[in-house]
DNA sequence: GATAAATAATGACAAAAATCATTTATTGGG
DNA sequence: CCCAATAAATGATTTTTGTCATTATTTATC
């Protein structure tokens, strides 16, 4: 975790972030006061249960947001990408982080203290609006995940998760398609199953020529079939 | 679904609602413009997929919020109580309802059109603040449910759900404790399992003297034991 | 590039939970 | 209060998934 320097106006995802549209002066202040960190693959950004001092804006990389279940097993709640913000729920509610966040790749996140953040929300109503919309989207995603976990088989959920990951890993382009790179364990913790079960199902998908596997790199080669297996109607 | 008349200032849960604190004039206008409905047990308040024209403030009763899975099975996302608001996610995000809502008891809900609602959020920043906090709490609950569904056994989840329902049914007081009244099917759809499995586990809990069963009425008689089974640490 | 450590793969088995079939109870309407 | 309809309970069986053990492969490090 190394300190680095990044200016918002040079940030490729700034205009997709919730902060887009604040005036020159506030942006300069934000740039001066925020602290940007470089995280190596695997490093923890924050821990579940700890007080939230602010939020993290993802500049680069892929982040997993996860909770630890009662038996100590990880459950990945969601995958987050550049332009998304981490810790919003905790900062808004004033409660500790209800999940941990860790870098799946080498990543960069910028920390914004909550006082500064709240000041901006007061000054910019559209920021509050975007926060509400962001929370709404997260909630919709979580409700879908609940329904999926409760009703779908592991096989169906794995197909679904591979398709969702395909979106997250869109920066890992190969000539013909995105490449998902994730440990089997992380994949199991995302799908909500045992690692062995994921491995077996991946072999099956590979045998059926739905995916290609090279080590931990997975490429989807038959999307429509996976959509069918996953019973997924949203792209 | 019958129209009835209710004034917010006479509503027992008004001061616990997100609207508490608006001034006299806005309250009178809200009273004049909102429409309150009486729903009989089982009636639908709104349907998943339909456009959201506004939100519903629960005055009385118990509401289930549920989604229909790919095989047509209900999944109960959450139980809502008087003072809570329904349809917030849809109204905020401007998207259709992502779940349906139905009355579990005879219930009363007041409908507030979204234009009127948005006007209030602009005038009262504390309302926006409360909306964000409400969404944050819903999100935290959903994330917990995800972890529970992914990692706990049905037995554990049933214990957990019974304890959660005990909170929701606090108005059904008997001399010694709250009484949960819910069909086995609804309970199964809340826990995320088959109805038969719920029935078997309830018999087991009854045999172990953790609960008492009279028809569809369930009373918890050994909370600590259920907490232990559910591996639940939050009350 | 060799070596150890970590991860992935595979097999055998056990446990959990779903499904299907049937019987028993409960409830609500006439 | 009775009867039909609905819901609950129970049993038998199958399917799915998890667990444990072992081997193979990959990855990182010296």
pLDDT at residue B22 in the model = 92
Distance separating alpha carbons of residues B123 and B31, to the nearest angstrom? 17
Judge contact between B100 and B132, C-beta under 8 A: no
pLDDT classification of B176: cutoffs 50, 70, 90: low
Residues in chain A closer than 8 A to B151 (CB atoms):
69-71, 73, 75, 192
Q: 3-state DSSP: chain B helix, strand, coil percent, rounded to 5?
A: 45, 25, 30
Residue B149 forms contact with A (CB below 8 Å): yes
The predicted-structure confidence for B1-53, as pLDDT tens digits, reads as follows 788 888 888 888 899 899 998 999 999 999 999 999 999 888 999 999 999 99
Distance separating alpha carbons of residues A225 and B206, to the nearest angstrom? 46
Measured between its terminal Cα atoms, the distance across chain B in Å is 35
pLDDT classification of B178: cutoffs 50, 70, 90: confident
The pair of structure tokens assigned to B233 is 């640490």
Distance separating alpha carbons of residues A78 and A84, to the nearest angstrom? 12
> What is the distance of C-alpha A22 from the center of its chain?
25
pLDDT at residue B183 in the model = 94
Cβ count within 10 A of residue A110: 23
Residues in chain A closer than 8 A to B144 (CB atoms):
67, 98
Residues in chain A closer than 8 A to B93 (CB atoms):
133, 136-137, 140
H/E segment holding residue A7: none
pLDDT at residue A50 in the model = 97
Residue–nucleotide distance: A61 CA to D28 C1' (Å): 22
Q: Is B28 helix (H, G, I), strand (E, B) or coil?
A: helix
Q: What pTM value is reported for the model?
A: 0.95
pLDDT at residue A174 in the model = 67
| Helix, strand counts (H, E) of chain B | 8, 13
Judge contact between B119 and A119, C-beta under 8 A: no
Q: Which nucleotide is nearest to B206 (CA to C1')?
A: D9
Closest by Cβ to B147, choosing from A75, A93, A150: A75
* A140–B145 C-beta distance less than 8 A: no
- Tally the C-alpha atoms within 13 A of residue B203's C-alpha that lie toward its C-beta: 6
Overall average pLDDT of the A106-131 stretch: 94
Find the closest chain B residue to A122 by CA distance.
Answer: B125
Overall average pLDDT of the B181-191 stretch: 95
């Amino acid at each position: 975790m190394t300190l680095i320097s990044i200016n918002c106006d040079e940030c490729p995802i700034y205009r997709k972030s919730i902060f887009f549209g604040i005036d020159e002066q506030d942006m300069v202040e934000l740039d001066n006061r925020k602290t940007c960190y470089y995280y190596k693959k695997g490093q923890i950004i924050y821990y579940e249960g700890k007080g939230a001092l602010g939020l993290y804006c993802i500049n680069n990389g892929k982040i997993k947001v996860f909770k630890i279940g009662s038996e100590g097993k990880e459950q990945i709640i969601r995958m987050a990408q550049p332009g998304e913000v981490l810790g919003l729920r905790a900062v808004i509610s004033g409660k500790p982080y209800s999940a941990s966040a860790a870098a799946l790749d080498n990543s960069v996140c910028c920390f914004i203290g909550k006082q500064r953040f709240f000041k901006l929300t007061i000054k910019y109503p559209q920021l509050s609006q975007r926060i509400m919309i962001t929370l709404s989207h997260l909630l919709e995603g979580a409700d879908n995940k609940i329904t999926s976990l409760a009703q779908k088989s592991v096989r169906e959920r794995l197909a679904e998760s591979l398709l969702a990951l395909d979106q997250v890993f869109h920066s890992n382009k190969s000539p013909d398609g995105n490449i998902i790179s994730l440990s089997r364990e992380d994949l199991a913790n995302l799908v909500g199953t045992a690692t062995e079960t994921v491995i077996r199902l991946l072999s099956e998908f590979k045998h059926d020529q739905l995916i290609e596997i090279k080590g931990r790199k997975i490429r989807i080669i038959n999307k429509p079939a996976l959509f069918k297996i996953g019973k997924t109607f949203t792209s």
